[in-house]
Structure 1
Amino acid sequence: YKDVTISLDWNTYIISSLVTGTRQPVTQVMPSGLQVLTWAFATGTCDSESWGGANPSSFVSANINAFVAAGKKYIISTGGANGVFRCDTDSGFSTFLARYSSSSLVGVDFDIENSMTQSDITSLVQRV
Structure 2
Amino acid sequence: SYAELDPEVKDRWGIPVVRWFWKWSSHELNQVRHARKTFAAMIEAQGGKVLGDPAENPIKAIHPGGEIIHEVGGALMGADPATSVTNKWNQTWDVKNLFLCDGAPFPSNADKNPTLTIMALAWRTGDYLVEEARKGNL
With the shorter chain as reference, the TM-score category is under 0.3
Q: Which gives a bigger RCO, structure 1 or 2 (Cα 8 Å, sep 6+)?
A: 1
**Computing the radius of gyration over CA atoms, which structure comes out larger, 1 or 2?**
2
**TM-score with structure 2 length normalisation?**
0.24
- The structure richer in strand per residue is 1
